[in-house]
Structure 1
Amino acid sequence: MKKLALGLAVLALLAAACDGGDEPGPEQLVVASFYPLAWVAEAIAGDAAEVVDLTPSGVEPHDLELAPSQVGMIEDADLVLYMGEGFQPAVEDVIDPESGSALDVLVGMALMEGDPHVWLDPTRLADAVDEILAALAKPYPDESASFEERAADLQDRLTRLDRTFEEGLADCARREIVTSHSAFGYLADRYDLEQIAISGLSPEAEPSPGRIAEVIDLARERGVTTIFFETLVSPDVAETIADEIGVTTGVLEPIETQPDEGDYVDAMERNLTALRSALGCR
């Protein structure tokens, strides 16, 4: 009898361990291809769904390779959020854009020469909030009201961030920023800056000697004081140029993966601090 009671107790414990309670299961799964989309989805969804970010910290999103388990998550998800235009080929290769459960956030956006880095302009990310809100409401219609409330709060944060950038970059001695690759075009366009990129849209692209010489000449001519490189990208070329013209290097965060500290807004505020210092803003 004691053995039977013990066995029943063990079964009860196992059942309790297997019971997720209110925790979201596979039927409440949203997959985001990289951090900015995951950040928006989590902010809107709250506890209504589990949001999985496919790109781990320290991995360049362009280079992401999917594990079989991640492919399975994409297939099982109620909603998959991604950016097309070849930004993450591994993700695009396994997504059926006609499935109705996948949202390419770039569709309908006016892009600058195929540049996918729209999230570095807070107003463009705010546009994506509206798209993601509408997409989340389809599989979870009962949560629409709470989704709308949280999306409004997120829009307020992004509006305040945009205002902070406008005010912080309004009165600067210089408007040129030298960056390791062309990731900050939308940010520059929004706040009336000029991006001088050492290399193109791909962070892996090596600049030619001619391009390096051209950037050195431009930096000298414009009185640039800082050569920016990015997290996840080697600083070698930026340091070479900085040494050649006798200036410093600085870091701008492309915010493609979870920041080491804080969230998207915190990382953008750190970028603003770096820009204000480099541009001599008052």
Structure 2
Amino acid sequence: MTSRRVLAALLFPALALGAAGCSAGEDDGEVEIAVTAYPLQFIAERVAGETATVTNVAPAGTEPHDLELSPSGVSTILNADAVLMLSGFQAAVDDTIGEIDDDGPVVVDAADSADLLTSEDDHEHEEEHGDEDHEHDHGGVDPHFWLDPMRVAAVADALAAALAESDPDNAATYETNAAELRTDLDSLEGEISEGLAECVERTFVTSHEAFGYLADAFDLTQIGISGLDPEAEPSPARVAEVLQEASDAGVTTIFTQPGGLTAGADTVAAELGVTLATLDPIELTPEGSDYLGAMRSNLSALHEGLQCS
């Protein structure tokens, strides 16, 4: 959906949240917000607070790149008062958003405010997908904006503005909640900046090239074994290339992600005789934590792995 269409939806008078007949939230008067991945859920829940119900259409544990919407998921999106999504990230969501007409929900596209990056590597990853098609074609755009706290704050502000426009009775609540979230994110950004200010290494190797925003925000260099597709297996040529780059950079830790998708990280670590550690791309709900806690765990892992003082 284009920015112009989203703006038109925001301004269309029939979309006032709580207006009769406009949404699934009309039965009890509660605002309904649909989201399509955990990071967007975190943002929406913080901005909405107790004013709205936030529903994540991705089943628990589902890799967000692989999301295929069930009929109930499609219905949740189409009948919500508002939708927070990221265009180009999930094809099924893009298709469903394309079905929304002028009487549908307010759509807030995180891509309009997150200042998305292209994949940082200037080479093409040679990856082996096996019998299944795991090609997550994001057009070279890295969707993982949430690994930069300030981009999360920008998306939260955009959501608050959209909700305030369409639900003016609760505008102050949305704006206050977004401001409080920004304060928390400012603190998090400061903690990460301080924690990674003085490090022996500034290059880190990851199994899944999901950390470009973190590297961009905190003056680090990411080497991804596999590309943006977390399920693709790298070719032997790519593994050899990473081995050389990691050796040249003096890397002492190789980072894999939770869930056992190593994408060759264990092989690279064994070949170099270095430590294997975990770095969370926060695509799924962090176990026993939330976005802020997961980012602090990532800071701890990087602080140790990059030998920071």
Compute the TM-score of the two structures, normalised by the length of structure 2: 0.80
Q: Over residues 29-70 of structure 1, what are the superposed CA-to-partner deviations in whole Å (9 max), with x where a residue is unaligned?
A: 100111111111111111211100122332110001111111
Q: 2:148 aligns with which of 96, 121, 125?
A: 121
| Residue pair 1:24, 1:48 contacting (<8 A) in 2 also | no
Indicate the residue corresponding to 1:187 in structure 2. 214
Indicate the residue corresponding to 2:112 in structure 1. 107
Alpha-carbon RMSD: 1.9
- CA distance in structure 2 between the partners assigned to 1:25 and 1:235 by the alignment: 46
- CA distance in structure 2 between the partners assigned to 1:154 and 1:103 by the alignment: 18
Q: Structure 1: which 5+ residue stretches go unaligned?
A: 1-22
Offset of residue 111 of structure 1: 2.4
Compute the TM-score of the two structures, normalised by the length of structure 1: 0.87
SS in 2 for 1:177: strand
Offset of residue 242 of structure 1: 0.7
Indicate the residue corresponding to 2:126 in structure 1. none
Indicate the residue corresponding to 2:96 in structure 1. 94
Offset of residue 131 of structure 1: 0.6
* 2:51 partner amino acid: A
Q: Structure 2: which 5+ residue stretches go unaligned?
A: 1-25, 119-140
Q: 1:62 aligns with which of 46, 62, 65?
A: 65
- CA distance in structure 2 between the partners assigned to 1:245 and 1:29 by the alignment: 51
* 2:264 partner amino acid: V
Q: Call closer, same or farther: CA 1:184–1:126 in 2, change over 3 Å.
A: same
* 2:202 partner amino acid: R
| Residue pair 1:27, 1:77 contacting (<8 A) in 2 also | no
SS in 1 for 2:229: coil
Q: How does 1:25-44 map to 2 (within 5 A)?
A: 25=28, 28-44=31-47
Q: Over residues 106-131 of structure 1, what are the superposed CA-to-partner deviations in whole Å (9 max), with x where a residue is unaligned?
A: 02543222111111000111111111
SS in 1 for 2:233: coil
Indicate the residue corresponding to 2:51 in structure 1. 48
Q: Is 2:102 the partner of 1:75?
A: no
Q: Over residues 143-187 of structure 1, what are the superposed CA-to-partner deviations in whole Å (9 max), with x where a residue is unaligned?
A: 111111111110000000000010000000000110112100010
| Residue pair 1:178, 1:219 contacting (<8 A) in 2 also | yes
* 2:110 partner amino acid: V
Indicate the residue corresponding to 1:155 in structure 2. 182
Equivalences, count? 260
Greater helix proportion? 1
